[in-house]
Amino acid sequence: MYQAALILEGGALRGQYTAGVLDTFLSENIYFQLVVGVSAGALCGANFISRQFGRTSQVNVDYRDNKDYISPLNVFRYDGIINLDFLFSDHGEGWVNFDEEAYEKSQTDFVIVATSIETGGPVYFQKPTGQDLYDDLKASASMPYVAQPAKTAKGLCLDGGTADPVPFSYAANQGFDKFVVVRTRDRKYRTEDITLLQEKAANQLYGKYPNFIKTMVNRAEIYNHQLDWLDELEKNGKAFVVAPEEPITIDRMERDKKKLTALYHRGRADGLRVYDELVSYLNA
């Protein structure tokens, strides 16, 4: 186990790329003292810590058409397009249950990032277990506009990618000086400010939470600043980034299973491509 922090960006079903990279890490026995995950990155991270090779991709591909998992109607039935409770329930033959016992026995520290809608700031859940684990993962992956704020022990929360989309600074504040960051965007990607229509919708939905609205409005500045900082760290050999060499073009809610499978294998291949360089960085 390396004394390094693994940082996992979100991105809904773009997380298939992350799933592929992490399965390569599992196959090559690369483990980390700390894993920090945001949204889909946190969901991938949980399966990585429980060492369940292939589980993330199997669920996303085999059950993509299951309306109890992903459907616009779930906004009314399960408080979000993606029913995250589905991931941790038993669905019978062919389904691989989350191995909570293996997760709890792991020596890896796991941190889930969400955004408090009251403060607008990031919230960090440290190695939650039981129902808290499911609640915190749900909060981290609950997308603004299309999901209800999730209840947690630290208050109502939404997508961690709003306040801290690439949380390597959290690991730095914990004393780590080696960061392996798995992106779901290519290195050149930068996001744009929200539109006036989106800002209006945010005010209508979250009018009681001005701090959260402010964070949503400033999200592009937060994200792009983190990426510029990460580029500088990578340039100076202080961070190791695994990112797609070409833009990921699938939709956040992609329905094409062939594309989802291809993205997973793209992550697997990139994990192998950077293996020697990664091990050298971790051992330096």
* 84-143 tens-digit pLDDT: 889 989 998 889 999 999 999 999 999 999 999 999 999 999 999 999 999 999 999 999
Q: In the prediction, which pLDDT does 30 show?
A: 97
Q: Per mean pLDDT, which range of 76-80, 124-128, 186-190, 206-210 is the poorest?
A: 76-80
Which member of 23, 39, 50, 164 is catalytic?
39
Task: Please say whether the beta carbons of 77 and 147 come within 8 A.
Answer: no
Residue 79 a catalytic site member: no
Residue type, 36: V
Q: In the prediction, which pLDDT does 80 show?
A: 79
Which member of 23, 159, 164, 270 is catalytic?
159
Binning pLDDT at 50, 70 and 90, where does residue 180 land? very high
Residue type, 191: T
Residue type, 60: N
Return the closest-CA partner of residue 60 out of 89, 42, 39, 82. 82
Determine the straight-line distance between the first and last CA of the chain, rounded to whole angstroms.
Answer: 14
Binning pLDDT at 50, 70 and 90, where does residue 81 land? confident
Rounded distance between C-alpha atoms, residue 214 and residue 77, angstroms: 29
Binning pLDDT at 50, 70 and 90, where does residue 261 land? very high
Q: Any idea what DSSP says for residue 14?
A: G
Q: How far is CA 133 from CA 126, 153, 165, 262, 272, in A?
A: 9, 11, 19, 30, 30
Q: In the prediction, which pLDDT does 82 show?
A: 86
DSSP bridge partners of 36: 7, 111
Q: Which residues, at least 6 apart from 12, have a Cβ–Cβ distance to it below 8 Å?
A: 39, 40, 82, 143, 252, 253
Rounded distance between C-alpha atoms, residue 8 and residue 112, angstroms: 10
Return the closest-CA partner of residue 127 out of 92, 93, 100. 100
DSSP bridge partners of 70: 82
pTM over 0.85: yes
Q: Any idea what DSSP says for residue 147?
A: B
Q: In the prediction, which pLDDT does 84 show?
A: 86
Residue 256 a catalytic site member: no
